[in-house]
Each structure stands twice: as C-alpha cells, then as structure tokens.
Amino acid sequence: MINYARERAIEILKTADTAVLATVGLNGVQASEFPYKAIELDLYLLVPRTSDHLFNLEHDDRVALHTEQWELTGKGRVLSPEEKWPQISLLPKTGTAYYVLIKVVPSQIQVLRSEGWGPAETIDLSPLE
C-alpha cells in the first residue's frame, strides 16, 4: 500500500509545470506562481532572490502548493549555492545569480476533482510516528 501511494504521488506531481507557492511568516501571507520540477517526491521551485517567500521560509518552513490538478502541504527550504543543485531544466542558462531553488518535501497531496469541489483523493506521505 505504501509503495502504491508513493508511486501515485510521483505520478500526480508531474502533471503540471507551475504551481502557486503559499508561505506565511514575518512578511505576512505570500502566494506566487513559480515554475517547478518534480524529481521523485521532491519538488524544486525556481524563485527570484528578491521574493518575500525566502524571508518567510527562514522563520516557518511550512508551505502549500496549488495547481489546477492538486494541492499539497509540506516543508520547504532554500537550497544554498554550496549544495549540489539537481540538474533540472528550470535553471536558466544565464542569470542564475538572480534565482534560488526551493526544495519542497510534501507531507500530504490532495487530488482535486475535475468538476465540483473538494478533493477526489488524499495521499498522506507523512511518516508514521
């Protein structure tokens, strides 16, 4: 069952190219759309260095992402330049100094209905405690 949920989540996360990132912190509630790439269950968002999301993430790592197909909650963090960044097509050929990657590890994904409201499916990825 756990493998099915993981494989289903990986499949769902590849259904879009952009997502709305929501953070909350000292800069208030922020919601902005960014390009992302899913690698297994990890999502990498390309965010400008001037984004208020970065300041919020320093104080609270909880994030929410939203697309037309799904919503998720999880933990986000800014990857430092010293870390090995994944080779993904999001990164511009030039101007990388103006962007950072935010890595998001989802804890729950809700697949949205194509018609109507509410989730059609919920996948809980939180480890059992």
94-119 pLDDT, tens per residue?
666 788 899 999 999 999 988 877 78
Contact 35, 5 (CB under 8 A): no
Q: Is residue 54 pLDDT above 50, yes or no?
A: yes
Q: For a pLDDT cut of 90, what percent of the chain falls above it? A: 65
**Residue 50 zone, left/alpha/beta (φ > 0; ψ -120 to 50; rest):** alpha
Tokens encoding 95: 């101007």
Residue 127 is given by DSSP the state: P
Query: Which residue ranges form the domains of the chain, and what is each CATH number?
Result: 2-124 (2.30.110.10)
Residue 126, SS3 per DSSP: coil
pLDDT at residue 32, as a whole number: 97
The most distant pair of C-alpha atoms in the chain lies apart, rounded to whole Å, by 45
How high is the mean pLDDT of the chain? Answer: 88
Q: Which residue has the higher pLDDT, 120 or 81?
A: 120
pLDDT at residue 1, as a whole number: 47
